[in-house]
Chain A
Amino acid sequence: MLAISTSHLSKTYTSGFRGKRQVNALQDFSLEVESGQIFSLLGPNGAGKTTFIKILLSLTRQTGGSATILDHDVSDVQARVKTGYLPENHRYPGYLTGEQVLRSFGPLSEVTGPLLQSRTTTLLELVGLKDWRNVKVKKYSKGMMQRLGLAQAMINDPDLLFLDEPTDGVDPVGRAEIRDLLRNLKTRGKTIFLNSHLLSEVEMISDRVAILDKGQLLRVGTVDELTTSGERHHIGIDGVLPEAFRLEAAAKVIEFSQSQSSLTVDVGSIAELNALIDMLRRHHVPIVSIAKERSTLEESFLSLIKREVAS
């Protein structure tokens, strides 16, 4: 089942006198997110990430295309019964305590009575606010607000959870806790849609990632797909390369570079890689390791965005 499906979505904000200023926040954006996944949307500031979530939750209307969440059109109120949302700059009434926030907002998601009571207790414990539940929200620190926001987003045990910068302002221990929480939700079959700038974190938990820039989808795929760059391999060897090997490689136009005890090669296929290994063995070169080159998500992200800027 698809948790999110959008097709040719576009959004142009018009503002200023007689709509003079226009911003294309999203352009021809088509995306599908399978349910039961942790999906992350990455992109520079102003790329349109929040706009995308806002369209899915009907906070903003798209100017073109269509979008469904949990098999409902986004304009359908029912679509939001089983969704949760942690907005990027959420504000709760300062005069309420953490517990009162959950108890006041729960009924708006159709959660009431003893269920609301028990969820409130469990969630406050889960996000580590148990000791703060009777303290007024205005006295909360930024990280505590974020934790409360997360609890609030989960009050209706949503099947689809939208989190806009969920770990913003949260300490490292808290972040690790939130990651565990999200993985746990995933094992329960929930879908999590994440906007984040913390790429190392995204890399740790996401099943799939999409990269957005200036309203356009640049790439979408698994973390593996986005971080492996072509067919570059590092082959670790023991000892020195015999001259005969160099000559044969030169004759067969195999290019490689060598640094101490490692060869780096760009191969067109697995067969080519194996041919090279065979050749090394024929020349009695001991092979210690073979590794496919892998960049971090951050490196891939930066090079992708740079390429985009250049073009």
Chain B
Amino acid sequence: MKLLALIRLTLRELAAKATIIILAAISTIVLLGLAAAFSTNVTPDGMMLQLFGQQASPVMPEEQLITAIRSMQAGLAGGLFTGIILFGIFATAGVIPDALEKGTVDLYLSKPIARWELLLGKYLGALVAIFVNVLYFMVGAWLIFGLKCHLWDFQILLATLTITFMFACLYAIVAFLAVLTRNTAVSIILVYLYLFVVGPLLHNREATLYLISENTVYRSIVDGFYYVFPQLDAMRASGAKQLLAQEMDWKPFVQSLLSASVFFFGGAVMLKRRDF
């Protein structure tokens, strides 16, 4: 009950901020563009994709076209993921530092709520906001592809869950940084640093960090770091497979769940010890 109240308050806070509205607006524009531009056409020889009424693919048999559409969906979901990461983090990173600000934190913590509960409520609030945004986009895309191509693929709806899960893993790091720094801007900078520098370096460690030294201890430390963080790239690749109706690899998801739990737990422990 108290958790729900916290989530509701967080959603209200996000709704009052322009950023999450802009996120929804961008989704709407992309969907409208997709609806206006994209269609399929049946010719006597087979089917083809059309963009703005112009032929955009060779005429091909139906199965081939479905595969082509699915790759398009995968591309779209990938684009959405990137958008959510860049903009969603930006839109929601303030939730926890704001709650911990002097004058606000006193209000929350003087209530019969445990500190981890406050953190969880804020975390889930941000997550729900992102989930709703992703769901909105995915249901829109599902309807467009269904109506225009008669391809009612369920995977695209499932991708809502995958993308939200990936965001949740990343947001656990944001929560950790937010408690650590109590500063929105610093949290955003650090998480982007992870996303664009540290993450890719660790992911491609064989071609980058491994070159620094051949020392096995060093290399296992690098490996260790890789597994401490959620495996966004591996999850992303696996998520694309989902959209292409191929077998998914669950390992990165399980590992990332563990990693995210550790980050969240670390944040909760730090919060518990803090004096306000």
* Chain A interfacial positions (CB closer than 8 Å to B): 13, 54, 57-61, 77-81, 83-85, 87, 89-93, 95-96, 104-105, 107-110, 112, 152, 162
Give A104 to B125 CA distance when docked, in angstroms: 14
- The residue in chain A whose Cβ has the minimal distance to the Cβ of B118 is A108
**Contact status A109-B112, CB under 8 Å:** yes
**Contact status A59-B110, CB under 8 Å:** yes
Ordered by A's residue number, 9 sampled pairs between the chains whose C-beta atoms are within 8 Å are A54-B276, A59-B109, A79-B112, A104-B12, A105-B107, A107-B2, A108-B108, A108-B111, A110-B1
**Contact status A78-B112, CB under 8 Å:** yes
Number of A-B residue pairs having CB atoms within 8 Å of each other in the complex: 79
Give A152 to B114 CA distance when docked, in angstroms: 19
Residues of chain A with a CB closer than 8 A to B16's CB: 93, 95
Residues of chain B with a CB closer than 8 A to A112's CB: 1
Cβ 8 A contact of B106, one of A78, A80, A90, A108: A90
Cβ 8 A contact of A90, one of B1, B12, B107, B114: B107
**Contact status A89-B103, CB under 8 Å:** yes
Cβ 8 A contact of A152, one of B104, B107, B275: B107
- The residue in chain A whose Cβ has the minimal distance to the Cβ of B13 is A93
Give A162 to B109 CA distance when docked, in angstroms: 14
Please give me the 3 A-B residue pairs with the lowest Cβ-Cβ distance, nearest first: A107-B5, A95-B16, A91-B103
- The residue in chain B whose Cβ has the minimal distance to the Cβ of A107 is B5
Q: Name the distance in Å between B80's Cβ and chain A's nearest Cβ.
A: 28
Cβ 8 A contact of A104, one of B9, B101, B109: B9
Residues of chain B with a CB closer than 8 A to A108's CB: 2, 5-6, 108, 111-113
What number of B residues sit within 8 Å (CB to CB) of A?
Answer: 27
**Contact status B112-A77, CB under 8 Å:** yes
Residues of chain B with a CB closer than 8 A to A60's CB: 275-276
Give A84 to B2 CA distance when docked, in angstroms: 16
- The residue in chain A whose Cβ has the minimal distance to the Cβ of B101 is A91
Residues of chain B with a CB closer than 8 A to A85's CB: 106-107, 110
Q: Assuming A57-B109, A93-B13, what are 19 further A-B pairs, CB within 8 angstroms?
A: A54-B276, A57-B110, A58-B109, A77-B112, A77-B113, A78-B112, A80-B110, A81-B112, A85-B106, A85-B107, A90-B103, A90-B106, A90-B107, A93-B9, A104-B8, A107-B5, A109-B112, A110-B1, A162-B110
Residues of chain A with a CB closer than 8 A to B114's CB: 77
Give A92 to B113 CA distance when docked, in angstroms: 18
Give A109 to B113 CA distance when docked, in angstroms: 8
Residues of chain A with a CB closer than 8 A to B107's CB: 85, 87, 90-92, 105, 152
Residues of chain A with a CB closer than 8 A to B1's CB: 107, 110, 112
B132 within 8 A of A: no
**Contact status A13-B275, CB under 8 Å:** yes
Q: Name the distance in Å between B105's Cβ and chain A's nearest Cβ.
A: 7
User: Using an 8 Å CB-CB cutoff, how does the interface string of B25-58 with A read, 1 for contact, 0 for none?
Assistant: 0000000000000000000000000000000000
Given A13-B275, A59-B105, A59-B276: A95 touches B111 (CB 8 Å cut-off): no
